[in-house]
Amino acid sequence: MTLPKKNNINVYRQVGTEPSSKELVPRRQELLDRITKSDTYLPDEILHDDLDMGMLEFVKNNLKVVSDGEQIPIIPKILTVQRWNEITNNWTFADEDGNMKVPFIGIIRKPDVQPGTNPNIQRTIPDRRQIYYSTVKTWNGNMEGADVYKMPQPVAVDISFEIIIVCQKFRDLNKFNKIVLQKFSSRQSYTTVKGHYIPIILDRISDNSPIDALENRRFYLQSYDFTMLGFLIDAEEFEIKPAISRMMLMYEFMDTKNYTKKYTNRTIEVTTASFIANGEQVTFNVGESIGFLFFVAINGLVQQRDIDFYWITGTPRITFVTAPVAGSNITILYYAGKSNVFQDSYGRLLFLSTQYFVYDGSSLIFTVDHEISDIIYVETNGLVEEDGDGYTWNGNQITYLYEPIIGSRIGVVYLR
């Protein structure tokens, strides 16, 4: 069998082929998911201890050295002066005297954390301005809206670590050195802190073996100085503000019927305007366009349009034929829409209608022009009747339950 003359690995996707699942948007989504806290849409916060943990994980996972068939233990804590006694007492790799068994690898973090030098996130946005992060939909059970998530730019920090290896064999030093130099062959390597890639730079390697103390226990001690180019994301600085919370749209899909039912939760604002008459004023202005006038009442008595008062549709003014008596309470109930058309919860159009009758004694049944969807009110000579007590309604008929005085004016306001 002959060997292929060319490498048959296609590193470039051919023109016209679809991107794989790991490219572009899916890959970006994957990266976003990694940094997003499980119960919010915001990134997990990253503080000093998280970065320290990232360094620990990096060392534990990448700088493993095997000596005499066993991995050289890595002290699984950041070393500090204060906690050292506790660590040695609890750690497995301590001898009967509580001393660390040599060889071992330890991680020392220098206490002073310096301003960051990571070029990606340093000195790009002045101050601590809140920057837009995302818009997240909200749902409170009735309304759908959105919250705007903001956060300031992460703070770049440089954290210095010293990884030390204490051992008694030169070969162990060689092994550790090889692993570190391989890992940092391009000067830096990366650890992952809550989904973020954090660079670590190898600064210096130095030997601190006690070569002068001839009459002491002998061991090798080498230090590897690293700088982690980290950044801080403080959840305390996150800001969430509501954006839109005016409208909810819900789609209900019916399996058996191939249509969509749209539910609209709209509030129909009916306004009551009250005035006290001064005995001279005949025109009263509600200050906004009246789309539909339910009624105008003087001291509770409903007035009849075009007889007691005039109103031009769409205008805000009610003009009485004669000025109401001083001190009279004038009530105007209206809908401030552009017309007398409403939508019900399913988007159906509803029309408001008003119709007047004069009772002539012939029948207690009054027939309106359209099918009644709902009664707004029925009044007799300006006094509102109670549904079921003064009248009943069905279809397009109003049936009085008592006999009004002949010649009474009967007004019906209804939805059709």
* Residue 164 binds another protein (CB under 8 A): yes
In sequence order, which residues have a C-beta less than 8 Å from that of residue 88 and are 6 or more positions away? 94, 98, 99, 100
387-395: Cβ within 8 A, 24+ apart = 395/371
Build a one-symbol-per-residue string for 360-399: x at contacts with another protein by CB under 8 A, - elsewhere. Answer: ----------------------------------------
* Residue 160 binds another protein (CB under 8 A): no
In sequence order, which residues have a C-beta less than 8 Å from that of residue 121 and are 6 or more positions away? 153, 154, 156, 231
Q: Which is nearer to another protein, 37 or 218 (CB)?
A: 218
Asked if residue 210 has a cis previous peptide bond (ω within 30° of 0), the answer is no
Distance CA 218, CA 207 (A): 14
Q: How far is the CB of 71 from another protein (least distance, A)?
A: 13
Q: Which DSSP helix (H) or strand (E) runs through 115?
A: strand 114-115
* Residue 169 binds another protein (CB under 8 A): yes
Q: Which residues inside 329-348 make contact with another protein, applying CB under 8 A?
A: none
Q: How far is the CB of 78 from another protein (least distance, A)?
A: 11
Q: How far is the CB of 164 from another protein (least distance, A)?
A: 6
Rg of the chain over all Cα atoms, to the nearest angstrom? 41
Q: Which is nearer to another protein, 85 or 265 (CB)?
A: 85
* Residue 216 binds another protein (CB under 8 A): yes
Build a one-symbol-per-residue string for 240-279: x at contacts with another protein by CB under 8 A, - elsewhere. Answer: ----------------------------------------
Binding part of the chain for another protein, among 23-31, 92-100, 375-383, 406-414 by CB under 8 A, reads 92-100
* Residue 178 binds another protein (CB under 8 A): no
Q: Which is nearer to another protein, 101 or 187 (CB)?
A: 101
Q: How far is the CB of 165 from another protein (least distance, A)?
A: 10
CA distances from 153 to 7, 49, 237, 238 (A): 45, 19, 10, 10
Using the structure block, give the residue that is written with the tokens 């800001």: 239
Sequence length of the chain is 416
Residue 379: is it exposed, middle or buried by C-beta count within 10 angstroms (0-12/13-18/19+)?
buried
* Residue 71 binds another protein (CB under 8 A): no
Residue 120: Cβ within 10 Å count: 11
Residue 396: Cβ within 10 Å count: 14
* Residue 205 binds another protein (CB under 8 A): no
* Residue 212 binds another protein (CB under 8 A): no
* Residue 88 binds another protein (CB under 8 A): yes
* Residue 55 binds another protein (CB under 8 A): no
Q: Which is nearer to another protein, 139 or 219 (CB)?
A: 219
> If you write DSSP's letter for every residue of 349-412 in order, what string do you get?
EEEEEEEEEE--SS-SEEE-SS--SEEEEEEETTEEEPBTTTEEEETTEEEESS-PPTT-EEEE
- The DSSP letter of residue 233 is B
Q: Which residues inside 95-124 make contact with another protein, applying CB under 8 A?
A: 95-103, 106, 108
Binding part of the chain for another protein, among 131-139, 161-169, 225-233, 407-415 by CB under 8 A, reads 161-169
Distance CA 292, CA 237 (A): 50
Q: Which residues bind another protein (CB under 8 A)?
A: 68, 79-81, 84-85, 88, 95-103, 106, 108, 162, 164, 166, 168-171, 208, 214-219, 221, 223
